[in-house]
Amino acid sequence: MKKKEEFLRFFSMALAALLSAGVPLLKSLQILADQQEDPRFKKALEGVANKISQGWSLSQSMGEYPTLFSGLITGLILIGEKTGTLPQNLQKIAKICEKNLTLKLKMISTLTYPLVLLGLTGIGTIFLMKVFVPSFLPVFAQTQGTLPFPTRILLLISRLMSSSFFWIFLLLFAGGILFFYTLLKDYKINLDSLLLSTPLIREIFRKGVACQITNTLSAAYSAGLPLAKGLELTAETIEHPSFEEVIQNARLALIRGEKLSRIFLENSIIIPSYVGHMMAVAERTGKVDVLMTKCAKILEEEMDHRIEQFAALLEPGILIFMGGIVTFIMLAVFLPMYALLHSI
């Protein structure tokens, strides 16, 4: 997904620059196809160029590759073709892709550092259990009486980790998680409820997706698309079923003549209520694109603040967890040694 967003951003910016410089559309597409190293994107651009040479429009040609060019992109291209503002709309597409990519990278970077720390904790624990603890087994054997409870737990874990069945079980467990994730991805089973019920992550998730929605809706409306059509295309770009459902319901309500802001406010558990209030002002003033852009900017700032809070709380928590594991192992190892020295 990241490579796709990067390609679309580069493609839109480069095509807009070439067209603004007076290079014909077909020649521009051929230039971009020649420069593309990824075979998937290269093949798609060559296909689009081939359709253009046969007399197809750019929007029609791109519509033949829906997995790469979403309905929003082809819709903005179509508006640009009809109004003579194709380079400007291509620049809008580039901005949308850049903002979406930035949001995704922020959310990924939030989780990367904690996951690295957890991974290092796991590796360090395995090292201690496989190398450090076995060297103290003779000391445990010399201890008279019952071993301390932490030591018995440590020995049990050490025996389990020395067994081949433990590693087979671990591999099967990891394979099961991977299979389950693939199943969820293939069948698009809704995981949004899990993210929306997790403290701190919930607010980052809500504001991040809402920022993407308002940015996309603003760009579609400013390009001349009707608000209902803009909502339809926005729903196509959202990869989260809960948000997609709300946007589709909002589009149907708008067609029935209802207020879009009311639908957003009724779904404030998913869509931040601030979006609904801003949409209410936009409905009164008619400045949907301006207010949605401002709304997206504020949501992005709030998301950045939440990410900082999340990192500030998570990092010490993981460090405490790591310290707890090391402390437990040290106690389990040195308590028998202290008992042995005391008996001597």
pLDDT confidence of residue 336: 77
The one-character DSSP state at 55 is T
Vertex 225: Cα angle to 221 and 231 (nearest 5): 70
How does the average pLDDT of the chain come out, rounded?
Answer: 82
* Helix residue ranges per DSSP H, the chain: 2-20, 25-35, 39-53, 58-63, 71-83, 86-127, 137-142, 149-162, 164-187, 192-196, 201-222, 227-237, 241-255, 260-266, 273-285, 288-343
Residues 257-296 pLDDT 10s: 888 899 899 988 888 898 999 999 988 888 888 888 899 8
What b/e sequence results for 14-48 when a residue is b if at least 16 CB atoms lie within 10 Å of its CB, and e otherwise?
A: bbbebbeeeeebeebbbbbbeebeeeebeebbbbb
Mean pLDDT calculated for residue range 218-223: 80
Residue 29's nearest CA partner among 223, 1, 12 is 12
Q: Which CATH class is domain 98-344?
A: mainly alpha
pLDDT confidence of residue 142: 62
Contact status, residue 90 vs residue 63, Cβ threshold 8 Å: no
Q: Do 2-69 and 98-344 fold alike per CATH?
A: yes
Residue 57's nearest CA partner among 45, 74, 35 is 74
Which architecture does CATH list for 2-69?
Answer: Up-down Bundle (1.20)
Distance CA 164, CA 98 (A): 48
Two structure tokens written together for 288? 């949907």
pLDDT confidence of residue 343: 64
Two structure tokens written together for 282? 């936009």
Query: CB count, 10 Å around CB of 264?
Result: 26
Distance CA 214, CA 25 (A): 31
Residues 137-157 pLDDT 10s: 676 666 655 778 888 888 788
Distance CA 61, CA 80 (A): 14
DSSP sequence for 239-262: --HHHHHHHHHHHHHHHTT--HHH
pLDDT confidence of residue 165: 80
Question: Over 90: is that where the pLDDT of 46 sits?
Answer: yes
* Residue predicted with more confidence, 264 or 309: 264
Contact status, residue 80 vs residue 88, Cβ threshold 8 Å: yes
Question: Over 60: is that where the pLDDT of 337 sits?
Answer: yes
Question: Over 60: is that where the pLDDT of 188 sits?
Answer: no
Locate the domains of the chain by residue range: 2-69, 98-344
Two structure tokens written together for 180? 């389950």
- Give me the percent of the chain exceeding a pLDDT of 70: 90
Q: What is the CA radius of gyration of the chain?
A: 28
